[in-house]
Chains A and B, each alone.
Chain A
Amino acid sequence: MLVTIFALMLAAVFCGQSLQACSLALHDWKLIFYRKIPVTVPFFPLSELDVATARLERAGFARVFWVGSHNFISAVAPAFLPLFADKAAGLPWAAVDSGPSLMAMARENYCPGEGPLIIGSDGNYIKIALFADQNSGFGCMQLVVQQTGRIRAVHPDTKTPWAQETNGSSWLSLIFYQLPVPGRILSFSAYPVQKNRHSIYEDHSYVETLLNQRILKRRPDLVVDPYRFDFPELPE
């Protein structure tokens, strides 16, 4: 009995090391630059897409009204949604300027048949952070652009009217060595895409070269989750 517990204790010691890693390299990210900018509306509705897809899996709707004080970028952003594989990305998204409340809009669209999903957000911020990897002598860097905000959605479904309030968070991450220029980019990824981090670009051969030159620290072979790519939590 005690022998088993002792063996488990040893295992606890060996397994208790926290790791921040990409698929090949082991990073130790240190925040070196951070800016938080308030915005009226997210530039790209990735979190909104996530909420819409989750709702679509439970109840049908024909289109999405994305409500907010739109700028040029956010007004054209829905046109790029079909590039994503999320279920709700295939529906028509209309960028609607905020006027009446979401509930008032829902009331106007409350009728039999598949009504729209009305979604908007407030308290929106763009967070820009630059991390440097201590394990590579601060040569490897990660640029993160994160959008946060409080998302509210209403679905005026005649069978089961529905609303949700949630904190949205979406980000883009660019990992590069020394400069963010072609040839030095290790990976480019986005979150959330189908509820997960999605790798848009990865240069494994470049990562391998940096590992062989001992510029990057190689990740130990036996790690719990070899596909963990995250960055430390950004300040509020």
Chain B
Amino acid sequence: MRRCKNILLLLSFFVAAVPLLASGETFRAVDFERLLQKHPLMRKYDPETGRFKETRSEIIPVAKLQERIASISAAIAACENEKSELVLATMNSGDSVSEAHAWERIGQIDRQLAELKTGLQTEQSLLADEGVPGYDKLLEIAGQIYHETILPEIATGVLLLNKLPRFVATPPRPAGNDLRHFFYSCNGEVLEKYLTQAGKIALMFEKTDQPILYSSDRGVSDAKKQ
């Protein structure tokens, strides 16, 4: 019975693979690890924190954040004071020319204040997460690396199979709201689609933890050479 099952599995492989091989199509393994290592951002990767140094994903010490918040708050207070003095002077002058100048300056200060307040809000929310930026900051960088390493490999006519390798990943330290963000943002449909196909892929390829490119064009450069 078991032997029959194995023969059937083997046959199912030939049913899928033989027509493809006969038509001159190619499968090739992709060493994404090597591609990732070559990316300039990888030099900034800190394995201890799971984040990239000198980017928005970097963990900021709480003391440094408090310092930044104090500095922004002082700048806001200075802007407000300047505006207050300007308003008082303009009201007292009663001159339409100085009034026009005053409004121009008030507009400038308000734009500056808006920027400062946005910055303050960012720093305060980062402080609330003890200096750990959310996964969205990490995803920005991961997305950039993806666009610059994997996308060129899966150019027109090339399919990336098995793009969810079966390995255990140690996640970077999450920020406070990251878990909630993850559950609300991941596209479950895509994952489900992959999982329904995972069995078929396993039948065709021995190592399903290895990303594989399928191409109908033999002229596509082999990623292994890179």
Contacts and interface: CB of A to CB of B under 8 A. Distances in A.
Interface of A: 1-17, 101, 103-104, 106-107, 110, 152, 154, 156, 160-166, 220-226
A20 to B, nearest CB: 15
B143 interface: yes
A14 B91 contact: no
A166 B110 contact: yes
A12 B139 contact: yes
Nearest to B190: A14
Q: Looking at chain B, what size class is its interface with the partner chain?
A: 35 or more
Q: Which 4 A-B pairs have the closest CB atoms?
A: A12-B143, A8-B142, A9-B146, A161-B87
B226 interface: no
Q: Which of A1, A5, A103, A222 has the most CB of B within 10 A?
A: A5
Contact of A162 (B83, B150, B170): B83
B159 interface: no
B60 to A, nearest CB: 19
A222 B185 contact: yes
A142 B209 CA distance: 47
Contacts of B119: none
Contact of A9 (B45, B106, B142, B189): B142
B188 A163 contact: no
A220 B189 CA distance: 8
Contact of A15 (B36, B139, B172): B139
Given A3-B169, A6-B165, A165-B110, A16 B184 contact: no
Interface stretch (B20-28, B94-102, B212-220): B94-102
A221 B184 CA distance: 8
21 contacts: A2-B32, A3-B168, A5-B42, A7-B171, A8-B139, A9-B146, A10-B163, A11-B135, A12-B139, A14-B186, A14-B190, A103-B102, A104-B94, A152-B103, A160-B84, A163-B87, A163-B102, A164-B110, A165-B110, A220-B189, A221-B188
B150 A9 contact: yes
Contacts, number: 122
Contact of A5 (B84, B142, B183, B190): B142
Interface in B164-201: 164-165, 167-172, 181-191
SS of B interface (majority): helix
Nearest to B188: A222
B189 to A, nearest CB: 6
B146 A12 contact: yes
Nearest to A154: B87
A50 to B, nearest CB: 14
A16 B190 CA distance: 12
B145 interface: yes
B90 interface: yes
Interface string B133-173: 00100111111011000100000000000011101111110
Contacts of B183: 222
A103 B187 contact: no
B94 A107 contact: yes
Nearest to B163: A10
Given A6-B165, A15-B185, A161-B84, A103 B143 contact: no
Interface string B41-55: 010010100100000
A106 B106 CA distance: 15
A163 B169 contact: no
Given A3-B165, A161-B87, A163-B87, 13 more contacts: A2-B33, A5-B36, A5-B42, A8-B139, A10-B146, A11-B135, A12-B146, A13-B146, A15-B186, A103-B90, A106-B87, A107-B91, A164-B106
